Amino acid sequence: MTAPQVVVHRDKELMAKAAAARLITKIVDAQAARGSASVVLTGGRNGNGLLAALAEAPARDAVDWSRLDLWWGDERFLPSGHPERNDVQAREMLLGSVPLDPARVHAMPAPDGPEGFDADAAAEAYAAALAAAAGPEDHGPVPSFDVLLLGVGPDTHVASLFPEHPGVRETERTVVGVHGAPKPPPTRVSLTLPAIRAAREVWLLAAGEDKAQAVAVALSGAGEVQAPAAGAYGRSRTLWLLDAAAAAGLPRSMYPPASP
């Protein structure tokens, strides 16, 4: 388990721009070192804010988009093309404007796909795709993602792993169907904590006053079943990217005085 590093920015706009710059650097470095890079995207206002900032960043052209694998941490189990799906929003924010290789964009299954309305079967299919992409150098049946992005919910949920729900207790499977989620839609597909922890780096994004309590709880040593964000960490780095409002409940000693 890597100790969390906390970076606090003045506001959510600056946080999004800084996170986008970090991500560009990380992708370029990974491509230089290994020939390709892999990133797990997250939805929600902060995940989409990062993608929008990335779309506007002049340095985005430093990325070789054709050598980038994109995965998702979770998805609303809604029909393909539905405006509330994370992959649809990501395409609107960024993916539709960069030259990606379609074969390397791994959207989670939808109920109009081969698995039908069975979210558990959809989860199994995505787990199989992850396993097929994993190599002998990877840690288990998922690729060693270079960066895995997660938004933090006001209840401390990450991906679609909610406090006390069965998915957050999963220790073997890498992807699960989520039923009865406390926020709509109730049916989802999500990576599990074991899959999240296979990433080289996990970045958790939170902005706004409504996230302050969740951030404080998750970084106070809470258990992962009660506070799923507390159980999300990377193999080499765990980075919390916050705005000042989301960091309001943290002791000032947790982040450097010089954080912009």
CB crowding 5-41: b at 16 or more within 10 Å, else e: ebbbbeebeebbbbbbebbbebbeebbeeeebbbbbb
Q: Show the tokens assigned to 123.
A: 């989860």
Q: Which helix (H) or strand (E) holds 158?
A: none
Domain ranges of the chain: 4-151+170-225
For 77, counting Cβ atoms within 10 Å of its Cβ (0-12 exposed, 13-18 middle, 19+ buried), the class is buried
Give the pLDDT of residue 136: 87
Q: What is the pLDDT of residues 23-70, one digit of tens each?
A: 999 999 999 999 999 999 999 999 999 999 999 999 999 999 999 999
Give the pLDDT of residue 190: 98
What is the mean pLDDT for each group of 10 consecutive residues in the chain (260 residues)? 93 97 98 97 97 97 98 98 98 98 98 97 98 89 97 98 98 98 97 97 98 98 97 98 97 73
- Cα 94 from Cα 212, distance rounded (Å): 28
Q: What is the pLDDT of residues 156-183, one digit of tens each?
A: 999 999 999 999 999 999 999 999 999 9
Structurally, what CATH architecture does the domain formed by 4-151+170-225 represent? Answer: 3-Layer(aba) Sandwich (3.40)
| pTM tops 0.75, yes or no | yes
